[in-house]
Amino acid sequence: MRTTFRNARIPVSGNETRTADLLVENGKIAAVLPADSEPHPTAADSIDLGGALVLPGVIDTHVHFDDPGFTHRENFATGTRAAAAGGVTCIVDMPCTSLPAVTSRANLRNKLDVISNKAHVDFMLWGGVSDNAMEDAAWRRNLADIVDDGVASIKIYMLSGMDTFRDLSRDQMREVLVETKQIGIPVGVHAEDREMVHELTDRFMSAGRNEPLDYAAARPPEAELSAVSTVRDLCRETGARVHVVHLGTGRALDVVVEAREEGLPMTAETCPHFLEFTTDDLRRMGALLKTAPVVKSVSDRARLWEGLASGEIAWVATDHAAGQWPEEKHTGSIWTDYGGVPGVELMLPYLYSEGVRSRRITLERLVEITAGAPARFLGIERTKGRLEPGYDADLVVLAEHETWTVRADDLHNLNRYTPLEGRALTGRVRAVYLRGSCVYRRNEDGSEFFAGPGTGRWVRRQSRLG
């Protein structure tokens, strides 16, 4: 099967683009030709993109699609449908928000059985190690098994709110990192200081405090700073490749930067909500914007954008986590309201609008933080993340000048709410191709096309760390 995508404007460097024809064969980019090359003699199909901006499909390394186990929040069909509409052609689902959690071969296979025929886009899976998993004397064997089977990376928590996936002590973390170093797989860490957060939470709750800002005060910047410093120390001690997920604090970013200067294998991601919102917004919006970790200050936000532009932050992921709306989000107490926001559908338009068009980051950097860097972390850098011959033809066609208004009702995930409600963004996803086939299109009349569930495939990690 051959298709030529004609007149695609693709990123070159900085904000520069060039117009090219992409020849796609059997789902892979076979050639990138100068625009208006003679039609390839055997090209069966030709799609004229009319000079539209075309980016590599986004890879979202951090989503919670909750399937199986928490499907009142999300499921794989709705989550990947939202991904397709947002230009995300590969998602990486977290191991903790499944029942059973992805901590053993049997659990991994159970999950694959449940989700595989639901996916609208390609997917990878995180494996995990929890305190629960470590109660099994065979936890090391289980870890090695799921890595052999192809999980993308290993997730651990220093502070978890889940009984089914409990957090690890410093000693447990060390044990896990020694093991992952040996196996050659990276570890993603939820880094907040559990003692500090538990103590503040208990104190505020028993004092009857119940405002959004009380929740923020119970998860202060110091909790992230302390935990990220611990991650750094254990990285130094074990040599394990570590990655801080959903980092929101400027001073914690400084620790990551210093670690890298020291030569330690440590990176960090941030999320759109940390780039956009601060505690002022939390005070105003309440539970709608409740996340864990929580949004931080104006200066933290500025530091994150700076780090994103400079390369100090490796990439952006959504931490898509949608609670049941409205029941779980409005329980009557900020302490029990669900912590998490949907994000997978809005990340690319948000980063394009507020990053590239607002001149905070270049187009080249946008591609790196949404595709290139995630692909390298996940060990799929030879097949995804670039518009070059040999790569999967995962393409996003962006209507770069279209200004539109975010409406929760227009989202495609299961529980539709967003702190971005009412925001005008410039740049909108028009069409998305997965391995050369259209999985999403927004038509002129506003109607939408989706390819069926089961279009997406499981992608295994393709390489180990040295």
Residue among 196 and 344 whose Cβ is closer to Zn ion: 344
For the bound state, the minimum distance from the C-beta of residue 153 to Zn ion, rounded and expressed in Å, comes to 13
Residue among 78 and 97 whose Cβ is closer to Zn ion: 97
Q: Collect all residues with Cβ–Cβ distance below 8 Å to 460 and sequence separation of at least 6.
A: 124, 149, 150
The stretch among 51-59, 217-225, 319-327, 355-363 that binds Zn ion (CB under 5 A) is 319-327
Three-state SS at 292? coil
DSSP output for 51-76: T-EEEEPEEEEEE---TTT-TTT--H
Q: Is 394 an interacting residue with respect to Zn ion (CB under 5 A)?
A: no
Strand residue runs (E) in 49-206:
53-56, 58-63, 88-93, 122-125, 127-128, 154-157, 187-190
The stretch among 13-21, 168-176, 315-323, 396-404 that binds Zn ion (CB under 5 A) is 315-323
Residue among 341 and 425 whose Cβ is closer to Zn ion: 341
Residue type, 447: S
For the bound state, the minimum distance from the C-beta of residue 321 to Zn ion, rounded and expressed in Å, comes to 6
The contact mask relative to Zn ion for 273-312 (x = CB under 5 A, - = no) is: ----------------------------------------
Closest C-alpha to 359, from 10, 12, 15: 15
Residue among 192 and 400 whose Cβ is closer to Zn ion: 192
Among 21, 224, 276, 319, binds Zn ion (CB under 5 A): 319
Q: How far apart are CA 368 and CA 384, in angstroms?
A: 12
The stretch among 161-169, 249-257, 265-273, 317-325 that binds Zn ion (CB under 5 A) is 317-325
Closest C-alpha to 49, from 456, 395, 351: 395
**How many residues are recorded in the chain?**
466
For the bound state, the minimum distance from the C-beta of residue 155 to Zn ion, rounded and expressed in Å, comes to 8
Residue among 181 and 320 whose Cβ is closer to Zn ion: 320
Residue among 15 and 164 whose Cβ is closer to Zn ion: 164
Residue among 55 and 63 whose Cβ is closer to Zn ion: 63
For the bound state, the minimum distance from the C-beta of residue 282 to Zn ion, rounded and expressed in Å, comes to 18
The stretch among 225-233, 314-322, 382-390, 453-461 that binds Zn ion (CB under 5 A) is 314-322
Cβ atoms < 10 Å from Cβ of 272: 23
For the bound state, the minimum distance from the C-beta of residue 60 to Zn ion, rounded and expressed in Å, comes to 11
Q: How far apart are CA 33 and CA 6, in angstroms?
A: 9
Residue among 300 and 319 whose Cβ is closer to Zn ion: 319
Closest C-alpha to 257, from 301, 219, 297, 314: 314
Range 219-258, binding Zn ion (CB under 5 A): none
Please give the angle made by the CA atoms of 187, 465 and 94, to the nearest 5 degrees.
30
Size of the site for Zn ion (CB under 5 A): 1
Nearest residue to Zn ion by CB is: 319
For the bound state, the minimum distance from the C-beta of residue 157 to Zn ion, rounded and expressed in Å, comes to 9
The side-by-side arrangement of strands in the sheet containing 58-63 is: 58-63, 88-93, 122-125
Question: What is the pairing mode between strands 242-244 and 266-270?
Answer: parallel
For the bound state, the minimum distance from the C-beta of residue 263 to Zn ion, rounded and expressed in Å, comes to 28
Q: Where along the sequence are the contacts to Zn ion (CB under 5 A)?
A: 319
